[in-house]
Amino acid sequence: MTKYKFLAPILLLSMTLSTFTLASQKELSITKPLLPIKVAGYDFKRLEELFDGRVKIKGCDATFQKVGIGDMNTDAFSGPQTYDVTEIGLHPFMLAYANDNFRDYTLLPIFPLRLFRHKSIFISTDSGIKVPKDLIGKTIATPGYSSTSLTWIRGILQDEYGITPQDVKWITSVKDSSADLAGKISKNEKIIPKGITITSGSKGKDESDLLVSGEAEALFHAAEPKAYIEGNPKVTRLFPDYRKAEHAYYKKTGIFPIMHAVAIRTSLLKKHPWLARAVFDAYSESKQLAYNYMTKQGWLNDMLPWYAQELTETRALMGKNFDSYGLEDNHKALETLFRYSHEQGLSNRELTVDDLFDPLGHKLSEIK
């Protein structure tokens, strides 16, 4: 038997490895159950892979529902709070946070929608308005005075063209021609500050009707109004070459205006603080896949003939990650909107990034 003694250590090692392997397999088989969460938002191209399941929120069993922004705002601020993670209007959230002490949801520095807003100023061709200064003394229609888009437009007009909200008259429509896309206007998009002259439009007319009928001479609206889409010759843009105006604005300010953010139910986040990083990473990964698509296939699959040139020029002006998440690259845009809200008498105090985003949000950033 002595000649087989050398086999003993080998047998012992084999038994140890087998035991370790079985233990590892057993450990791997005992996985934590996925956290079920409901997510609301728009299925933008940058979120497509997240909504269709190709990108997962780590540790979660997520179900997604496409909802209009007005309805998402109402659900979170004054409704049944159906969703654990929800896209949210940035300025309505700011107003709920500052004015109503709203803390039921916690904001994350994920910005699913950003848009320049020179394109969102429409005028009647009968109004005599040719340049921004011509807006002074005119009546401007809107379906939601304190929406994010309107707050940006008023701030840009004041900063860049010297036109204050008090320099014009305001009229609100009872209907919104884009309601099928945006949902109903939420309460935090209807706040009217002191010192503003504002009336209600005729019953049954949407904001587009007010412009066509002459009740308003201009229209500020996040979406293209119905009359403009239909090609009504009475409606045009204040900035016909809005691309040029928006390029110049970005070159001067470095601001890509933020419209929407993402929020998580605060009670859920306290139980599962890892969820902030998991949600952030999933949204970022989905956006990166959209970038990859734009670079490799977008020019081929899209109907626009100069798609590739537009992408190249956008990146040359704004950088490769022009739609960035996280706070590092977005302080100026956020702080500008905070200032606009307070200056316009909407927020009862000027918020800061530290106010609106808790320490978890400050730790979230994208890999560069």
| Arch. (CATH architecture) of 118-253 | 3-Layer(aba) Sandwich (3.40)
Contacts of 113 (CB under 8 A, 6+ apart): 42, 44, 87, 258, 259, 260
Q: Is the pLDDT of residue 197 over 90?
A: no
In this chain, the answer to whether the domains covering 35-114+258-362 and 118-253 adopt an identical fold is yes
Strand order in the sheet with 35-41: 60-66, 35-41, 85-89, 258-265, 105-114
Q: What pLDDT score was predicted for residue 177?
A: 79
Would you place residue 1 in the very low, low, confident or very high pLDDT band (cuts 50, 70, 90)? very low
Tell me: the pLDDT tens digits for 113-131? 999 999 999 999 999 999 9
Give residue limits of the domains in the chain: 35-114+258-362, 118-253
b/e sequence 148-185, b meaning 16+ C-beta within 10 Å: bbbbbbbbbbbbeeebebeebebbbbebbbbbeebbeb
Comparing 121-130, 189-198, 226-235, 349-358, the range with the smallest average pLDDT is 189-198
- Distance between CA 239 and CA 27 in Å, rounded? 63
Mean residue pLDDT of the chain comes to 91
How many C-beta neighbours within 10 Å does residue 115 have?
17
Count of C-beta atoms within a 10 Å radius of residue 296: 10
Specify the pLDDT at position 22: 39
Our CA dihedral for 326, 329, 332, 337, rounded to 10 degrees, sits at: -30
**pLDDT (tens digit per residue) in 2-51:** 444 444 444 444 444 344 343 434 433 357 899 999 999 999 999 999 99
Q: What is the pLDDT of residues 299-346, one digit of tens each?
A: 999 999 999 999 999 999 999 999 999 999 999 999 999 999 999 999
The CATH architecture that domain 35-114+258-362 belongs to is 3-Layer(aba) Sandwich (3.40)
User: What is residue 30's predicted lDDT score, i.e. its pLDDT?
Assistant: 53
Q: Which helix (H) or strand (E) holds 51?
A: helix 48-51
The per-residue pLDDT for range 210-265, each reduced to its tens digit, is 999 999 999 999 999 999 999 999 999 999 999 999 999 999 999 999 999 999 99
Tokens linked to 352: 């800061």
